[in-house]
Structure 1
């Protein structure tokens, strides 16, 4: 299972990913853990806790309004959770609660625990004896038999996976450049550790513990404890900025580690770097005794390791239908969706999967729109206009060689196409006409009706037409503005070229009126496209600018002008760029982008 989108659950079964359920009362599902296919827990914001029994997902009261930042399910069915209480509190006043599941109910067993960040999965660990350990920047704590005890006042490696336990008498923790081991009564030093900060500690048993120190200019090491001594395994050149991104496995002879995005595997004899589709990876996740999930980087491939063999999940990575950049998407129904892109690429989804459909052109296709399964239009460079009649794509010659950027054909018998050199083509009552009322490149078109047409150009100027002629509504000169989004928001509002029409006024998308409670997030978001579902919930895709200046593909959704959800569409610092968005309803929204990436969103 996965929690890729806020409030959604996806399950891989019968060889395919399937969207399971959506919960409208959740801002996001944030964490997952389980011990079997019929015993899985999900946690989310505002105290949301759900249990999957193999057939039904049931919400269970956890007794908290804090955000669930960690879940751990033990082999006997007991579970523990950490909830971060932060809403309305200044940073220094935030606190966390410890929750316990005894098999019949959740309860808050400790009102305040020393966890204040969402990185709790790295600093929170429960053992089968009922002890819970916390490694934080204020020391090492153990909660046992109803009491909280601080075992070490030293600042621990918070934010790293530097806490591992095999049982109540075997706990390992990284403290700066030292490793300490709890033997049941005291913390003792583990000797012969290189004097570098400890990044990760993980193991399969008392005689099989792995330690990952931070890399240095002299190289990167992986350390192994066999119960009596440490062995060093050099893995190549290193740099102080190199990072470990996770370690896990299914047994002593099957361990995986992610070093700077490169996946390494231990087979019981040696560490080997993986090649091919596993050459670069970002996410490792162990689910069950013989199951490791791996997500790759540029192509976002997903692989599953069952302890013996590795297989790629369909429709991810190299299994994607196409790697051509996709430029537009149009959904007529959940079982009738079109996407178009470079080199004449046209993809169609029939409800079961995506398939490549031949087109009579190699020109890049940039826009697609339609009114029925037998009436779909696509446009592209070099004046290409294509029509789908339910059987095949055919070329329609309209006497222009200008690059065409967008098409609107949602109303039967009415088509509007815009493009370079101010090209405006219209089909009305069976007749085509061409107009060129501006020298700018028109890049987007949207219409409420044949008498209300809105158009934008690449410089951000907004045009309106009640027939065939365009008139300037708002002229703006932003040569570097990249938003192509143009869509109606309710009966009177409109999103166009990064602006929102509020009655007679136009305001920046980043304006607090639009941003609402998410203004801080919205202020760093550049929208690329927009779409409104039948419930007047507006969706945006675009790029979120991080604090380091890197961009990450994101989507946002708004209800009545207030941000109500967001999620990443790809890994941080991703080369993927979202380009277009369209859907049929709140549970069926499609986003496309570069490298053949297609996302299915839901609310």
Structure 2
């Protein structure tokens, strides 16, 4: 029963089959928050209707893109600059439906669809190097493209496990993580010399069924977080499991150098965990919504997002959130930001069964 309950909670935030919790916290009116635009996504043979709003001059968070069921929810966002941003997502596999993946590009003014190959499953994470954009998702899918490419290139991952995260400093030093969090196995892949292969995991204490995100300050300082509060660290050669007094799921991790990282998660209550270079210190914020995404700026200030449209700022090293006004109640799954102060958060109706709808928010600095 405990695993079944945890499975439902996991799928609320990371996948789709959250039937036991209904759609509390979903603001369907957010899909009407901006002007009409229609984009045909020919790669699946469906016409996808989306609503996009040109970013205005007003400071603060605003809905920039709303997606209907033909496009699904957005699960990840990454960009080189605030005028070169990618977001990915789609609809998950559910019952007899295989689902589909979607990708979008934001030029600082408007969002446009980026075609993905036919039969691409839902895409869960996007990350870029100096030369390529990488995205991973369900059924072990891995795609990449260079800015000048018209099409995505697919690579064999060697697994059918769902991949939830990808990170690396270069195309030949990439790591991807996954596992379905329910009945699968924690999955850690590494790309070297143009090919993906399993990276050796340490013996993981507990019954963890998945790894959800990966981030590092360099190849000799990489963090992975996942199911049941798993926290792994790579020191350049070896992965080790780090001590954690909580079994709350950790969904995402980001940082600001080798001695400063933050992991976020929690289902019924928000969970924060901070790395100081020697170990992790955590705190559960009872009664606060669960968290799913985090990004840290050059000053060490973190932006954290999660359920009920939650958007927080956290001072360097701190555990006291400073809430920001959010224009949505949708589940915000990921967030990123840029040197000019612009930030972008994405999510959707992930607290209910599919078909999902999606949303992208853009923060304009004052």
Which TM-score applies when normalising by structure 1? 0.33
SS of match in other structure, 1:137: helix
Q: Secondary structure at the match of 2:179?
A: strand
Task: State the alpha-carbon separation in 2 of the partners of residues 47 and 296 from structure 1.
Answer: 22
Q: Deviations over 1:324-348 (max 9, x none)?
A: xxxxxxxxxxxxxxxxxxxxxxxxx
Unmatched runs of 5 consecutive residues or more in structure 1: 257-283, 286-294, 298-545, 555-567, 573-603
1:152 paired residue number: 243
2:199 alignment counterpart: 109
User: Which of 1 and 2 has higher RCO (CA within 8 Å, sep 6+)?
Assistant: 2
1:316-355 matches, within 5 Å, as none
Number of aligned residue pairs: give it: 250
Post-superposition offset of 1:108: 0.9
1:81-480 to 2 correspondences below 5 Å: 81-84=176-179, 91-92=182-183, 94-110=184-200, 116-117=209-210, 120-121=212-213, 124-130=214-220, 131-158=222-249, 160-161=251-252, 163-174=253-264, 179-188=272-281, 199=291, 201-210=294-303, 222-226=312-316, 233=322, 246-251=334-339, 253-255=341-343, 284-285=345-346
Q: Is the 8 A contact 2:301 2:313 kept in 1?
A: no
Identify the range of structure 1 (172-181 vs 198-207) with the bigger mean alpha-carbon deviation: 172-181
Residue 3 of structure 1: how far off its partner (Å): 5.1
Cα distance in 2, alignment partners of residues 19 and 214 from structure 1: 27
Distance apart, 1:189 and its partner CA: 6.7
2:43 corresponding residue in structure 1:
none
| Structure having the larger proportion of residues in strand | 1
Cross-structure match for 2:136: 43
Contact 1:65/1:85, CA 8 A, preserved across alignment: no
> Contact 2:262/2:274 (CA < 8 Å) preserved in 1?
yes
In structure 1, distance between residues paired with 2:102 and 2:311: 38
Distance 1:16 1:235 in 2: 24
Corresponding residue SS for 1:4: strand
The offset of 1:204, in angstroms, is 0.8
Partner of 1:4: 90
Q: 1:103 to 1:168 in 2, by over 3 A?
A: farther
Whether the 8 Å CA contact 1:203–1:209 is kept in 2: the answer is: yes
Distance 1:252 1:159 in 2: 29
Residues 138 and 251 (structure 1), Cα distance of their counterparts in 2 relative to 1, 3 Å cut: same
- Unaligned 5+ segments in structure 2 are 1-85, 92-98, 360-366
Q: Distance in 1 between matches of 2:311 and 2:156?
A: 45
Say whether the 8 Å CA contact 2:229–2:250 is kept in structure 1. Answer: no
Structure 2 residue aligned with 1:69, among 164, 177, 201? 164
Select the residue among 20, 24, 45 that pairs with 2:115. Answer: 20
Query: 2:44: which partner in 1?
Result: none
- The structural deviation recorded for 1:571 is 4.8
Give the 3-state SS of the residue equivalent to 1:99 in structure 2: strand
Contact conserved, 1:182 with 1:188, CA < 8 A, in 2? yes
- Name the CA shift for 1:571/1:172 in 2 (closer, same or farther; >3 Å): closer
Distance in 2 (alpha carbons) for counterparts of 1:214 and 1:63: 33
Q: CA deviation at 1:233?
A: 4.0
Change (3 A) 1:65 1:102: same
How far apart, CA to CA, are the structure 1 residues paired with 2:198 and 2:90? 28
> For 1:67 and 1:140, how far apart are their aligned partners in 2?
19
Residue pair 2:186, 2:209 contacting (<8 A) in 1 also: yes
Point out the more displaced range, 172-181 or 37-46.
Answer: 172-181
Q: Structure 1: how far apart are the matches of 2:250 and 2:90?
A: 22
Contact 1:66 1:85 survives alignment (8 Å)? yes
Q: Distance in 2 between matches of 1:58 and 1:182?
A: 35
The superposition leaves residues 191-239 of structure 1 with CA deviations (integer Å, 9 ceiling, x where unpaired) of xx97665736532135323467999xxxx99453156x787646589xx
Q: Describe the shift of the 1:71–1:201 C-alpha distance in structure 2 as closer, same or farther (beyond 3 A).
A: closer
CA contact (8 A) 2:117 2:152 kept: no
Q: Deviations over 1:385-427 (max 9, x none)?
A: xxxxxxxxxxxxxxxxxxxxxxxxxxxxxxxxxxxxxxxxxxx
Q: CA separation in 2, counterparts of 1:208 and 1:164?
A: 11
Cα distance in 2, alignment partners of residues 236 and 58 from structure 1: 39
Classify the secondary structure of the residue corresponding to 2:199.
strand
Larger Rg: 1
